[in-house]
Copies of this chain bind each other. A is one copy, B any other.
Amino acid sequence: MVESNFALDLIFGALADATRRDILKRVSRGKHTISELAEFYAMSLAAVAKHVSVLEKAGLITKRRSGKEKVIHVEPKTIEVAAAHLSEYEQLWGARFDALEKLLAENRTGGG
């Protein structure tokens, strides 16, 4: 019946745009205000503010007021939700190529 999982719609939808991924990258490195962010892009401030709002609705970032400005923070938990979902596909497929699995195997057998 396709459980709607609106959260994932918003998260992946937010990640589907290069400007928003770039904003998320900058914000992952450290806090920024909207107008600081806007300087990097060839579009209006309002357009950047909309992108930030999309990221916020997806739960990928939060805004905190600080004086006149609003400071954008990354919300790493939400990124992990998306990452966890992707690993579901890999688990279903039975791939388990990744380094984590390799290390787990090594740990189990005591190998190095």
Contact = CB atoms under 8 A, between A and B. Distances in A.
A85 B12 CA distance: 12
Contact of A2 (B22, B92, B98): B22
A5 B29 contact: no
A18 B24 contact: no
A29 B79 contact: no
Interface in A20-46: 21-22, 24-25, 28-29, 40-41
Interface of A: 2-5, 8-9, 12-13, 15-19, 21-22, 24-25, 28-29, 40-41, 74, 76, 79-80, 82-83, 85-90, 92-93, 95, 97-100, 103-104, 106-107, 112
